[in-house]
Chains A and B, each alone.
Chain A
Amino acid sequence: MNKPVDILQGTLDMLILKAVSLGPLHGYGILLRIQQISKEALQIPQGSLYPALYRLEHRGWICAEWGASENKRKAKYYSLTGAGRRQLKSERKEWKRLAIAITDVLTAKPEGV
């Protein structure tokens, strides 16, 4: 297993949106899911998870609801809203463009310049 990488500034929001798009999750659940999907490659600083959640909720992209969790304890579950779905789509597009551009730069050969 490789050493976990710190996530890029600004991508945390996108990852959270993606994580909750697969189904409602509580905060800790979101953390686990991102780690699980990325095969432990992405390390999310736990302290910045909640400000991000509150920010996304404030913007109306996710909504929260209190519900019973797997071990019968109450937990706050986050799920994606319509606006959040649109936001995720556009962020994914942006990310793809960025990734392609960076890949292009990194794979450029001397004669191409």
Chain B
Amino acid sequence: MLARVRSWWRALTRQSRLEEEMAAEMDSHMERYAADLAARGVEPGEARRRARVEFGSVPAAAEECREAVGLRWPDEFIRDLRYAARVLRKSPTFTGAAVATLALCIGANTALFSVVDAVLLRPLPYPQPERLFSVARHFQGKGSNAYQTNLWGAAWEGVRDHASYVDAAVFSDGSMGVNFAAGGRVEYVKQQRVSAGFFRVLGIAPLIGREFSADEDRQGGPAVAVLSYALWKRVFRADPSIVGQAVTLRGEPHTVAGVLPAHFQSSVPADLWTPLRPSREGEGGGSNYAVVARLRSGATWAQANTQLEALGAPLLREFGQDPSTEHLRLISFQRGMSEYVRQPLLILWAAVGLVLVIGCVNIAGLLLARAAGRTREMATRMALGSGRAALIRQMLAESVVLGLCGGAAGAVLGWLGVKALKALMPASLNVWQAVELDWRALAATACASIAAGILFGLYPALAASRLEIRAALGEAGRAVAGGRNPWPRRLLVASEVALGVVLLVGAGLLIRTFAHLQGLDPGFDAKNIITAQLSLQDARYATNQRVNQLFDKSLTRICELPGVDSAAVALSLPYERALNTGFKRLDGPHPDTESQITNMFYITPEFFRVLRMPLLRGRVFTAADSRTTAEVAVVSEAFVKMYMRGDDPVGRHLGDDGDRREIVGVVGDIQQKSGWGDGAPTAAMPDIYIPATQVDDKFIPLVHTFFSPNWIVRTAGSPEGIIAGMQRAIQAVDPQLPFAGFHNMEDVRYRSLAQERFQAVLLGALAGLALLLAAVGIYGLIANSVAERTRELGIRLALGATVSQAMRAVALPGVALALAGVMVSSVLAGFASQLLRHLIWGVRPGDPLTFAVVGIGLLGVAAAASFLPALRVTRLNPAETLRQE
């Protein structure tokens, strides 16, 4: 085998030499023969003539030699392709339909592949990315098999001290806006907090300077920062002497330790990095860390993972988790960082693949119909000595040409598709690397095109080449009732419908989910609200008193602005994820011994009035609720439902770690991103509201590490007009505090459902495409059968059948096929919808309404696609049809 490949390759690459040698060899053969003949006494001229005659045709022998070393098939392949292009040009309608179908299907695949590639496939932009891992928690139990990459402080210390096969670092997998002042300008920049060694583990050396030392990465260590290349260039004009100098960050001076190279991208977009200072308390007391680990040279994944699982069990037990259903495990860093978008992306990828299959099935149907019209051509070629293999090869060449044309057009559509996807894409998909149409996507497109060409071309080619030459040449096309077996094509159409149903049901469920989430009662009046965020992760705002002074002064100034109705500050906004905290019920019928979980907001008193949230019981906060008065809380209705179970909440007490707060009121629910529980994109969550004046001093720096408080302003008219006024108001209070940007509540809500919108729109578009393809498939089938059965129908009409009877006769198979496809695929769609169960909300996987609408809708489309071409029967003139005999 190897010898043949080598010989073929040699022949192919040194073809001219081969030709020379071949000619020389045969020439010398004839000369020698002629010389021998001459030696036997034949006259030299005659000898040469005889030598040539007896040798036979030199070109024929040469051609056979070429074939022997495998040189013929590239030639033939090119000839086949040329012929295919000529044949396809002759039937522009068919070619156009097929290429358009393919272009749409391949374009969709190319665009989505770009996203999948950027997020899941393309190696991370670090050296030896295959040796980078995430330390993940693997939940394995009844029906669950999930990974989470958030760890707590003690777990990090265990990994740091005992996982000897890896070099690990810890970081916070999110970036927070912080206040940055340098060179006379104040900016709100994105900060990511990482431990010493983070950049070393990733394999990235600073462009200038150094990364954090262990000394800087502990509580109370020197304040330092590492800058991104972009920030360094923008603010310091790429001045290398900045290293070692101080910048004001978070309200205090930080020394610049280094600058990272331009190409560096962290796990989240960030402008600068500061030491994480991991600990077991505060932030480290909860699962707020992520750990990246690089295998040490010589170590294997298996060694490192075994060691990690062993040291994980006691850590998990100590953290109150069950080590029999949860393990620590090393998963690829890429997977660890993309785990939460992995499943939806894979589902979308499968869906877009399904659309390509439907497109291929459709074109296969078209090719079958076309093959029927080419029976004579095929039979003639076979009668003239063409082999079956040659015919199949020829027809495959046609489909490969179609595939390549479709692929080229698809690449263009894919390029447009990538642009559209980028606009629609949730920010969570835009980590690591840019989504773009690169050579990887184009290579995938090329492969998909050729594979598609073979996929849809193979069956029709095999079917068409199975011919009875004599029958085909003699009687073809003369049978009274069609005569060709219609079943292969019918099955193709039915399977197209079946696959379409699967996609439509999936899309239906996601669209219903989106509609459900979009339609949820926000719980507040979102009109004429504008919000802006400030970072208070700032040394100057480390106490309750300083923070509340800022709130008071800024809100007073903002309320004086013309057009402002009311204003408040809250730790988080509706639709966003809120702070989770533990609490215990201290009295009532169900006092707690273990902590319960809830969302918590601190707010200024006007909050409920600004958002127009209804007060259901008791009272809301007033300016009188201060540091010195009794500690109070207001809870949400969902909180009462979840934790109070019929008990009157007003007057009951909540607390944790020694504090004690009285519930003074109950307000309506607002929509929030649930950070715990079932993980719904938005839901009415249990909330505890506390007055900003009563937040503990210890608590202030901690919450402001994770959350930037929001200024929420209600205006009388359009809120955009007061942005400048708000900026002036905050500058008057503190010129070093920049607002992060202004959003109205519609923006906030739009962002909160970005992923659901992305999924619903994408799958909806794919399902729409599938429906279109199925309709085209049915239309083509019926139109073709009308054409094939013209004579039969003419005879029927002549014999007294009515037009509607004739129409039914041709159109009903289309409807029947669609019905069969729908029935078969309801089962299939039932399974497929189970795959979506983690992505759908407010609707069950087997939602009868979705199934019914899809089924009936598809049958309606099928009926239309069947009867439309059947209308041609009405234009049939029986007399004329029969005269054509």
Residue interface mask B319-339, A partner, CB < 8 A = 1: 000000000000000000000
Kindly supply a per-residue 1/0 record for chain A positions 54-95, scoring 1 wherever the CB is within 8 Å of any chain B CB and 0 otherwise: 110111100000000000011110000001000000000000
Complex contact A58–B7 (CB within 8 A) = yes
In whole angstroms, what is the CA distance A54 to B61 when docked? 11
Residues of B within 8 A of A (CB): 3-4, 7-8, 11, 21-22, 24-26, 28-29, 32-33, 54-57, 60-62, 64-65, 67-70
Interface residue A45 (Cβ < 8 Å from any Cβ of B): yes
Q: Of all chain A residues, which has the CB nearest B60?
A: A47
- B55 and A83 within 8 A (CB): no
Q: Which residues of B contact A26 (CB under 8 A)?
A: 25, 28-29
The 3 closest A-B pairs by CB, nearest first: A60-B3, A47-B56, A51-B64
Quote the shortest CB–CB distance from A104 to chain B (angstroms).
35
Known: A50-B65, A51-B64, A51-B65. A45 touches B56 (CB 8 A): yes
Residues 1-54 of A at the B interface (beta carbon under 8 Å): 26-28, 31, 45-48, 50-54
Q: A28-B32, A50-B65, A75-B28 are in contact. Are A58 and B55 (CB under 8 A)?
A: no
8 Å CB contact of B29 from A46, A48, A51: A46
Cβ–Cβ < 8 Å partners of A54 in chain B:
22, 64-65, 68-69
Measured between beta carbons, the chain B residues less than 8 angstroms from A53 are: 65
Q: How far is the CB of A103 from chain B (nearest CB, A)?
A: 33
Query: B33 near A28 (CB under 8 angstroms)?
Result: yes
Contact indicator B28/A60 (Cβ below 8 Å): no
A64–B515 Cα distance when bound, in Å, is: 76
Chain A residues lying within 8 Å of B61, measured Cβ to Cβ, are 47-48, 50-51
Q: Is the CB of A50 within 8 A of B56?
A: no
Pairs across A and B, CB under 8 Å, 25 listed:
A26-B25, A27-B26, A28-B33, A46-B33, A46-B54, A46-B55, A47-B56, A47-B57, A47-B61, A48-B64, A50-B22, A50-B61, A50-B62, A50-B64, A50-B65, A51-B68, A54-B22, A54-B64, A57-B7, A58-B4, A58-B69, A58-B70, A60-B3, A73-B28, A76-B21
Measured CB to CB, the residues of A under 8 A from B are: 26-28, 31, 45-48, 50-55, 57-60, 73-76, 83
Given contacts A28-B28, A76-B25, contact A47 B55 (CB under 8 A): yes
Q: With A and B bound together, what is the CA distance between A60 and B54 in angstroms?
A: 29
**Inter-chain contacts of A52 with B (CB < 8 A):** 68
Q: A27-B29, A47-B61, A48-B61 are in contact. Are A60 and B68 (CB under 8 A)?
A: no
For the complex, what is the distance from the CA of A104 to the CA of B830, rounded to whole Å?
69
In the bound assembly, the distance between CA atoms of A51 and B67 in angstroms comes to 8
Docked CA distance A9–B395 (Å) = 32
- Chain A residues with Cβ below 8 Å from B29 are 26-28, 31, 46, 50
Q: Separation in Å of the B64 CB from the closest CB of chain A? A: 4
> Contact: A59 with B3, CB < 8 Å?
yes
Q: Which residue of A lies closest to B54 (CB)?
A: A46
Q: What's the Cα separation between A53 and B29 when bound, in Å?
A: 13
- The answer to whether B56 touches A59, judged by C-beta atoms less than 8 angstroms apart, is no
CB proximity of B328 to chain A, nearest CB, Å: 55
- Interface Cβ pair total, 8 Å cutoff: 69
Please report whether the interface of chain A is mostly helix, strand, loop or mixed according to DSSP. helix
CA distance A46 to B26 in the complex (A): 10
16 more contacts with CB within 8 A, not counting A58-B4, A58-B69, are A26-B29, A46-B29, A46-B56, A47-B55, A48-B61, A50-B25, A50-B64, A51-B64, A52-B68, A54-B65, A58-B8, A58-B11, A60-B7, A73-B28, A76-B24, A83-B3
Residue of B32, B33, B54, B69 with most partner-chain A CB within 10 A: B32
In the complex the two chains form, what is the Cα distance from A95 to B620 in whole Å?
106
**Bound CA–CA A83/B3 (angstroms):** 10
State the CA gap A53–B65 with chains docked (Å): 8
A85: shortest Cβ distance to chain B, in Å? 14
CB contacts (< 8 Å) of B25 on chain A: these are 26-27, 50, 75-76
Q: Which residue of B lies closest to A66 (CB)?
A: B21
Give the chain A neighbours of B3 by CB distance below 8 A.
Answer: 58-60, 83
Is the CB–CB distance between B26 and A60 below 8 Å? Answer: no
Residue from the list B4, B7, B26, B32 in contact with A50, Cβ < 8 A: B26
Q: Which chain A residues lie closer than 8 Å to B57 at the CB level?
A: 47
Inter-subunit contact A58/B56 (CB<8 Å): no
Closest partner residue, chain B, to A83 (CB atom): B3
| Least CB distance, A76 to chain B, in whole angstroms | 5
Tell me the bound Cα distance from A98 to B449 in angstroms. 50
Minimum CB–CB distance from A17 to chain B (whole Å) comes to 15
A26, A50, A52: most-surrounded residue (chain B CB, <10 A): A50
Which residues of A are found within 8 Å of B11, using beta-carbon distances?
58
Q: CB < 8 Å: which of A27, A45, A58 contacts B68? A: A58
Nearest CB on B from A90, distance (A): 17
Question: Chain B's nearest CB lies how many Å from the CB of A34?
Answer: 14
Shortest Cβ distance from B2 into chain A, in angstroms? Answer: 8
Residue of A26, A55, A58, A74 most packed against chain B (CB within 10 A): A58
Q: Which residues of the other chain, B, contact A57 by a CB distance below 8 angstroms?
A: 7, 69
Does A59 contact B60, Cβ atoms closer than 8 Å? no
Residues of A within 8 A of B33 (CB): 28, 46
Residues of A within 8 A of B28 (CB): 26, 28, 73, 75
Interchain CA distance A26-B28 in the complex, whole Å: 10
A52 to chain B: closest residue by CB? B68
A31 CA / B26 CA spacing, docked (Å): 13
Is the CB–CB distance between B4 and A60 below 8 Å? yes
Q: Nearest Cβ distance between residue B3 and chain A, in whole angstroms? A: 3
Chain A residue at smallest Cβ distance from B61: A47
Please state if A59 and B4 are interface contacts (CB–CB under 8 Å). Answer: yes
Nearest CB in chain B to that of A30: its residue: B29
Could you tell me the distance between the alpha carbons of A48 and B55 in the complex, rounded to whole angstroms? 9
Contact B4 A55 (CB under 8 A): no
Residue among B11, B21, B28 with max Cβ neighbours from chain A (10 Å): B28
- Enumerate chain B residues within 8 angstroms of A60, measured Cβ to Cβ: 3-4, 7
The answer for the CA separation of A74 and B28 in the assembled complex, in Å, is 9
Task: Kindly provide the distance from the CB of A29 to the nearest chain B CB, expressed in whole angstroms.
Answer: 9
| Contact call B56/A55, Cβ cutoff below 8 A | no
- Contact residues in B for A51 (Cβ distance below 8 Å): 61, 64-65, 67-68
Give chain B nearest CB distance to A58 CB in angstroms: 5
Chain B residues contacting A50 (CB-CB under 8 Å) are 22, 25-26, 29, 61-62, 64-65
Give the CA-CA distance A17 to B825 in the complex, in Å.
61
Residues of chain A within 8 A of B21, CB atoms compared: 76
* A84 CA / B130 CA spacing, docked (Å): 46
| Cα of A74 to Cα of B11 in the assembled complex, Å | 21
How far is it, in angstroms, between the C-alpha of A31 and the C-alpha of B57 when the chains are bound?
A: 17
Q: Is the CB of B55 within 8 A of A55?
A: no
Closest to A56 in B: B68
What's the Cα separation between A27 and B32 when bound, in Å?
10
Which residues from A are CB-within-8-Å of B54?
Answer: 46
